[in-house]
Amino acid sequence: MRMRTGIVALILVSLFIAGAYLIAVDESLTKQVVIEANPSNSAVSKPSPREPKTETPRPDERPAMVELGEKCLTVEEAMEDPRVLQDLHNYYSIAPSGPDIEAFRGVSKEAVRSFVVQNDAAAMVVLGAMADLRARGLDENLAVALLSYEKAGLNSFSGNKSWRESHGKELDEAAHWYYQAALHGRIFALQNFGSMLLAKQESPIDRGWITQQEHDSLSKADQARISPINIYSYVVYDLLPNLKYGIFGDSFSTYTPKSEIELRLREQVVNQFLADQRAANLPPVHLAEPATRHIDDLENLICRPDRAE
């Protein structure tokens, strides 16, 4: 198998959105592994929250990517390729990070709420992050930093039963706004919602997904796979299958359910989410087919020592 070049790894770190939780559950382990990546927004301008969203161009309108055989590109040039930028723009439109979120840096909670009442999904994410931080006893003005993974340790969660009980209101508020943000288009906020359920130590039983007897009959690995944080992380890709392709498609988006119960719960959560959207008179979220179908499309653009210009 051909190894990925280090330069492509550098691009992925630069492009990958913060807040995309890559949760891997090993067959023999029950712990959750959360891989976090810091984003770089330098390739995309930062619009005001008041700016209207631009429509994604139709596939036949997308600018052409550099063809193989043409002059190879530097990392900076590849990151400025129009189709790479279009995919990044589409990705940020559903993420709890990026330019729309960055525009709320330093904005007061009252001002954020003024955008929430206008059904601004980015504002809902930020409002959720503010409650998230208050639950941790941290400054709510660090909301954008939390969502952008800027400060080491800011996203870690720890607390005992007493702490959870005393901060239950803030955790519930954060979970509410993260879920509302997902309903209004920021689908990846479901992973933040799952994190709040983890902080509250809610189980599949608490969510009403399965009975205690069903849960006890599962292996430790299956119990971990159907934990709310994992289910909500995978459900993002069930809701938007096009996330399984393109420059971000090498993540756990290609993961397939390992058991019938996991598949059943994922379908159940997807159906509930879509029902909640309909009940709120919200349209389902769509993501355009990526212009860069596979990570290899990006890798093949990059100048490498073994590739002559």
Residue 167's pLDDT band, with cuts at 50, 70 and 90, is confident
Q: In DSSP terms, which residues pair with 73 in a beta bridge?
A: 302
Q: Which residues contact 289 (CB under 8 A, 6 or more apart)?
A: 59, 242, 245
Residue 189's pLDDT band, with cuts at 50, 70 and 90, is very high
What per-residue confidence (pLDDT) applies to 292?
77
pLDDT higher than threshold 70 for residue 15: no
Residue 252's pLDDT band, with cuts at 50, 70 and 90, is low
pLDDT higher than threshold 90 for residue 36: no
Alpha carbon distance 249, 292 (integer Å): 10
The pTM of this model reads 0.76
For residues 104-115, average pLDDT: 95
pLDDT higher than threshold 90 for residue 176: yes
What per-residue confidence (pLDDT) applies to 244?
82
The structural domains of the chain, with segments of one domain joined by +, span 6-40+64-299
Contact 103, 46 (CB under 8 A): yes
What per-residue confidence (pLDDT) applies to 251?
60
Sequence letter at residue 48:
S
Residue 67's pLDDT band, with cuts at 50, 70 and 90, is very low
Alpha carbon distance 136, 159 (integer Å): 9
pLDDT higher than threshold 90 for residue 280: yes
Residue 3 or 78, more confident: 78
Range of lowest pLDDT (8-17, 39-48, 115-124, 164-173): 39-48
Predicted confidence (pLDDT) per residue in 223-234, tens digit: 999 999 999 999
What per-residue confidence (pLDDT) applies to 17?
36
Alpha carbon distance 235, 21 (integer Å): 12
Q: In DSSP terms, which residues pair with 34 in a beta bridge?
A: 23
Q: What is the mean pLDDT of the chain?
A: 76
pLDDT higher than threshold 70 for residue 151: yes
Alpha helices in 32-188 (DSSP H): 75-79, 82-92, 99-102, 109-116, 121-135, 143-147, 161-166, 168-183
Residue 116's pLDDT band, with cuts at 50, 70 and 90, is very high
Using the Cα atoms of residue 183, residue 51, residue 122 and residue 113 in order, give the sign of their dihedral: negative
Residue 159's pLDDT band, with cuts at 50, 70 and 90, is low
For residues 19-39, average pLDDT: 32
Max mean pLDDT among 46-50, 167-171, 188-192 falls in 188-192
What per-residue confidence (pLDDT) applies to 27?
32
At 185 the three-state DSSP class reads coil
